[in-house]
Amino acid sequence: MADVLVCGWGELVRGIEETLTFGRKLAFALGGKLGALVLGEAPKGISDLAGHYGATTLDTLSDPRLAGNGADALVDALVQACRAGAPRAVVFPQTFDARLVAPRLAGRLGAPIVMNAINAEVEGGILRVTASAYGGDTHAVYEVAKEGPAILAVATTAVRAEPAPSPTAPTLRELAANLSGVSERIRIIEAASAKGPRLEDAGIIVAGGRGLGAREHFALIEQLAEAFGGMAGASRPLVDDGWVDASRQVGLTGHITRPALYVAVGISGASQHMAGCAAAKTIVAINKDADAAIFKHARYGIIGNCLEILPALIRAARERRQAEP
């Protein structure tokens, strides 16, 4: 088995490229090889993707008990794969599911675990993993014990995807595990299904914060988003106060977005909010306080009252749209 194993299941999740990049760099630092492990049915295109990011092996473990992505079966399969292959590190993109699986895997193996990992280095044989902590306010560096594989969950918005300098054609292997004794302790009765476009996929987001002052002013955010051909987002207080639906929330406890353009209106730039938009290519901030933290992240800033600026921006964006051929 590879020295560093990037694991996944179900569909190809956002952040998989970043996780493979993290894994490849870690494998290089350890002087070893990167491999990918898919539990359950392999998603289309995974072999090309794994090779593009430098994996030399692609293992699949396709027991029917893994089809429902139940955490008990996933943990059991991973425990067996790790015991058989003895990788030095097992790496996950930090998805909701991985948050359930990774700590339990570490518990079962008696192995060290770091969540929110953003970087890993090896010095004098010691693995040091940097993790984002306190909602991104600070970084913590962990020296990882050598017992068992290091289990790492990657905060993928803080990592840049970089394809391997020379792509590989991974060797495909089918692994086996005995999951007959596994019974899922949590049964999913109904999965929440989001309808319509998702903030995570939006190329342009206009997000409003408490600086809007009143619920009805959120309409200005929606109008500007529409004029830009994008989606409307919000900071958490607007969701907490019931101004907008939770599906709009950007941030640590909301949606992690990565648009080309993020317009933050009346948003202070708290680290928990920035965790959901800092990876945007261009951030534009509108805030009446010239010292607001959001301006540290913004490429363009407008200092002023958003209730005066927004109508002018909406007009200009609509005119521009109409003028487009």
Ligand X SMILES: Cc1cc2nc3c(=O)[nH]c(=O)nc-3n(C[C@H](O)[C@H](O)[C@H](O)COP(=O)(O)OP(=O)(O)OC[C@H]3O[C@@H](n4cnc5c(N)ncnc54)[C@H](O)[C@@H]3O)c2cc1C
Count residues binding ligand X (CB under 6 A): 29
Written as one letter, the residue type at 77 is: A
52 binds ligand X, rule: CB under 6 A: no
Q: Lay out the site mask for ligand X across 240-259 (x = CB under 6 A, - = otherwise).
A: ---------xxxxxx-----
Among 135, 142, 162, 163, binds ligand X (CB under 6 A): 135
Among 270, 279, 298, 313, binds ligand X (CB under 6 A): 270
Query: Quick one: which of 158, 306, 314, 317 contacts ligand X (CB under 6 A)?
Result: 306
The verdict on 35 binding ligand X (CB under 6 A) reads: no
Nearer to ligand X, 127 or 274 (CB): 274
Q: Under the criterion CB under 6 A, does residue 116 sit at the interface with ligand X?
A: no
In angstroms, what is the minimal distance from the CB of 30 to ligand X?
34
236 is a contact residue toward ligand X (CB under 6 A): yes
- Do β-strands 261-265 and 89-93 pair in parallel, antiparallel, or remain unpaired? unpaired
Interface pick for ligand X out of 67, 71, 100, 307 (rule CB under 6 A): 307
- In 239-264, which positions are buried (b, 16+ CB within 10 angstroms) versus exposed (e)? beeebbeebbbbbbebbbbbbebbbb
Q: Which is nearer to ligand X, 157 or 249 (CB)?
A: 249
What are 99's two structure tokens?
């948050």
CB 242 within 8 A of CB 296: no
Q: Which residue is listed with tokens 């794969």?
A: 81
According to the binding rule CB under 6 A, does residue 267 interact with ligand X?
yes
| 292 touches ligand X by CB under 6 A | yes
Rounded CA-CA distance 253/256 in Å is 9
| Identity of the residue numbered 274 | M
- Read off the amino acid at residue 8: G
Q: What is the DSSP letter of 149?
A: P
**Residue nearer to ligand X on the CB measure, 78 or 286:** 286
Q: Pick from 19, 56, 157, 287: which binds ligand X (CB under 6 A)?
A: 287
Dihedral angle sign, alpha carbons of residues 74, 130, 278, 52: negative
Q: What CA–CA distance (Å, rounded) separates 236 from 220?
A: 18
- Considering only residues 167, 184, 237, 297, which one is a binding residue for ligand X as defined by CB under 6 A? 237
- Distance (Å, whole) CA 292 – CA 288: 8
Query: What residues make contact with ligand X under the rule CB under 6 A?
Result: 135, 209-211, 213, 235-237, 249-254, 266-268, 270, 272-273, 276, 286-289, 292, 305-307
